[in-house]
A and B are shown apart, each in its own frame.
Chain A
């Protein structure tokens, strides 16, 4: 089975869960025999050596770059800034001057790709790839799968959703033959706000590579923060991730227990605001900012933490939660998240309920046995959430879409 897949980001060049998910999904799909052409808008040339690593590791996945200024999780303002910062005048001629226009240009390129690359299924991930997917389908007529990892309504945190993006999302969902939602939480959003038919939507929960985080679980002991416990926020600093709620809870925790350090890992459009907020609350000395982390540093920060907090206002899934648990760290997650519907061995609170978040943070800090139980039970529970299971479901969805003759072919995988 040959899959033409349109994505936005792929590790190591990812800035969020989408890249992690694309890696997990494509790797497990390829292990089940699928051949994948992964189309990636990219302005900087991916180093050859990296592509070689990928092709050695994942022989059935080919990454095709499309020269573009598009970056995942980009807003029109970000795009504009990036476009205007281009030095050479002639370089600017290669790209469009607006985000949506650039996405349209990308879709035209997709047409060409669909002609050149043989495929049985078109699989797109989130809004930026929806128009390319639709264009590709016009050429090949193959079944179109739209995979929703987050919607504009999530990303905007309920305030000021971009109407152009929203309408592209809607079109992509309507024209898709199947929609994959990463959670029931997201499925409900698609049903309610985008008016998509219930029968068309399938839920495929994300997974985690447990072993990628579980090595050197004893790392925590090597760090010396004195008597201080560490509470971690890790995510983009945007409204919908709720970093401001995290700080409000931090303030309340510190009023009752001084021996806590709060670490904020990540960057985003709220960088400045969050740093200022910490200062305004008078807790700047207790809040550390690490910026965006990846690789070994990411693994270390998870392990250093005594508690991981995901206070998202609206979180379609929340892969970082599974990564924290795989690192042996207990988690407190917002009930407004997809992962909270499948995870039992964790603490939960409404994102707006700062007192309840404080109550739970303090409980983990004060009672080691609570963290121990959460950690050991969490580690066994996440065995259920693997990329292999996600890929198995996706293969099933592909199977439904293809005709019987092709279905027989799939079974051979």
Chain B
């Protein structure tokens, strides 16, 4: 009787504009990114709302009306929600409608979609609280389950998140740490008391998120019937199948003409054909199932790449240095009590800025897969560091 647990990540960063050394001391609007043209935040938000958020929300709302047992969950970054308020209010309204059905759970994360946990506990906790506040304001919802940026996870995170009062936390179900255990059960993180760990079934998740439109894949084309056959084969061998993915999978990463929307439309019906199957949200899983075993994950585990680590964000010396220099400013920034400075500093923490500086795939052919607004990882670094220099001058002035 596997439960299907959907969690969708909704995130957009405030991209940093192309910012030259000549802008330092002149221009403090780092995120007013019109010079990135079609890759600027406003244009991207409008495009994603149109291609993904609005059509997918509509399909899911219809499905919930048709199948009252259909459940889903979301995590929204604070920066995505703010941009929806600014550039795509109709998308935000449609999310609110979904949440009102009661079939939707919202998870907490860091407001600025940051890697702050690995640099400052204090800053991490502040951003989680900011996120709770925003979710309460917009959706009148109080999350019980936490997910960290890029699903970056370790024992220490689980410990801190439990202390903050959460019932559950999400991570990647990578066999390297599971050894012979299955991702289709709940686990207890080492060093914690009650909090439960939900693991992504990355094979089945990625069949939808990454492979769906890949005509070179031996299972192509993927129909709901075939997918449900795989789900049913787990019957008796697990409590849950956690399908975790970026929400942009629908309509943006997998285009409409790939048939992804039709797949989604018929999936619940196919799943529910088997009487043992059902849909659950993360909190429902936590109250329905006990932890099977203890999991000891000491190193940082993420949902990224074949390495499942943070190397795409912190792997090269540009990334390490810019992160270090940014977090070094924490005390001074907070002491300044300057709202705009604190906000800019937090927006600079969004993980995407460091991802854009990643050099490991920047070779022939891969460039197109690269969702960067800059021409190269070096350009991303240059703009970021120029902005950081301007930011430091502003900070100095407050002293």
Binding site for B on A (CB under 8 A): 256, 344-348, 355-356, 358-360, 362-363, 366-367, 369-370, 372-374, 377, 381
B386 touches A344 (CB 8 A): no
Q: CB distance B20 to A374 under 8 Å?
A: no
User: Is B120 on the interface with A (CB-CB < 8 A)?
Assistant: no
- The distance from the CB of A413 to the nearest CB of chain B, in whole angstroms, is 28
CB-based closest 4 A-B pairs: A369-B317, A359-B20, A363-B382, A369-B321
- Residue in chain A with minimal CB distance to B364: A344
Among B266-274, B286-294, B373-381, the stretch that binds chain A is B373-381
Q: Is B316 an interface residue (CB 8 A)?
A: yes
By secondary structure, the A interface counts as helix
Q: Is B329 an interface residue (CB 8 A)?
A: no
Query: Of A359, A372, A374, A377, which one neighbours B386 at CB under 8 angstroms?
Result: A359
Residues in chain B within 8 A of chain A (CB atoms) = 20-22, 316-318, 320-321, 359, 362-364, 367, 375-379, 381-382, 385-386
Write the nearest CB–CB distance from B260 to chain A, whole angstroms. 31
User: Shortest CB–CB separation between residue A381 and chain B, in angstroms?
Assistant: 7
Q: Is the CB of A370 within 8 A of B318?
A: yes
Interface contact tally, CB-CB below 8 A: 59
CB pair B382 A360 closer than 8 Å:
yes
Distance between A392 CB and nearest chain B CB, rounded to angstroms: 18
In-complex Cβ contact of B378 among A256, A347, A355 (8 A): A347
Please, could you name 12 A-B residue pairs with CB atoms under 8 Å apart, sorted by A? Answer: A345-B378, A356-B20, A366-B385, A367-B318, A367-B381, A369-B318, A370-B378, A373-B316, A373-B359, A373-B378, A373-B381, A381-B363
- Tell me, in angstroms, the Cα distance from A373 to B385 when the chains sit together: 15
A358: B residues at CB distance < 8 A: 21-22
Residues of A within 8 A of B375 (CB): 348
Q: Report the bound CA distance from A377 to B317 in whole Å.
A: 12
CB pair A363 B317 closer than 8 Å: no
**Are B21 and A363 touching (Cβ within 8 A)?**
yes
For B363, B375, B378, B385, the residue with the greatest tally of chain A CB atoms inside 10 Å of its CB is B378
Residues of A within 8 A of B379 (CB): 347
**Alpha-carbon gap, A347 to B359, bound state (A):** 13
Q: Are A345 and B321 in contact (CB under 8 A)?
A: no
Given contacts A356-B20, A359-B21, A359-B22, 6 further A-B contacts (CB under 8 A): A344-B363, A347-B378, A347-B379, A358-B22, A372-B317, A373-B377
The residue from B22, B318, B364, B367 contacting A373, defined by CB atoms under 8 A apart: B318
Determine the chain A residues whose CB is within 8 A of the CB of B359 once the complex forms: 345, 373, 377
How far is it, in angstroms, between the C-alpha of A359 and the C-alpha of B21 when the chains are bound?
5
Residues from chain A with a CB closer than 8 A to the CB of B367 are: 344
| A24, B377: Cα distance in complex, Å | 32
Which residues of the partner chain A approach B320 to less than 8 Å between Cβ atoms? Answer: 369
Distance, CA A132 to CA B176, complexed state (A): 67
Which of chain B's residues has its CB closest to A363's CB? B382
Chain B's closest residue to A253 (CB) is B21
Question: Which of B363, B376, B379, B382 is most buried by chain A, counting CB atoms within 10 A of its CB?
Answer: B382
For the complex, what is the distance from the CA of A390 to the CA of B316, rounded to whole Å?
32
Q: A344, B376: Cβ atoms under 8 Å?
A: yes
Q: A344-B367, A370-B381 are known contacts. Are A362 and B316 too (CB-CB below 8 A)?
A: no
A360 to B378: give the CA distance in the assembly, Å. Answer: 9
Q: How far is the CA of A355 from the CA of B21 in the complex (A)?
A: 9
- Candidates B20, B364, B382; contact of A355 at CB < 8 Å: B20
Complexed CA–CA distance, A4 and B381 (Å): 50
Whether A367 contacts B321 by the Cβ 8 Å rule is yes
Q: Name the residue of chain A whose CB is nearest to the CB of B320.
A: A369
Are A367 and B364 touching (Cβ within 8 A)?
A: no
Instruction: List, in ascending order, chain B residues with CB within 8 A of A346's CB.
Output: 378
A374→B318 CA distance, assembly (Å): 10
Contact between chains at A359 and B382 (CB < 8 Å):
yes
CB-nearest residue of chain A to B378: A347
Among A346, A356, A367, A381, find the residue whose CB has the most chain B CB atoms closer than 10 A: A367
Contact of B21 among A348, A362, A369 (CB under 8 A): A362
In the bound complex, residues from chain B placing their C-beta under 8 Å from that of A373 are 316-318, 359, 377-378, 381
Using Cβ atoms and an 8 Å threshold, which residues of chain B touch A367?
Answer: 318, 321, 381, 385
Considering the chains assembled together, what is the distance between the CA atoms of A363 and B385 in angstroms?
8
* Complex contacts, B317 vs chain A, CB 8 Å: 369, 372-373
Residues of B within 8 A of A377 (CB): 359, 362
Q: Write the nearest CB–CB distance from A193 to chain B, whole angstroms.
A: 27
Cβ-closest chain B residue relative to A374 = B378
Q: Which residues of A contact B378 (CB under 8 A)?
A: 345-347, 370, 373-374
A345 surroundings in chain B (CB, below 8 A) = 359, 362, 378
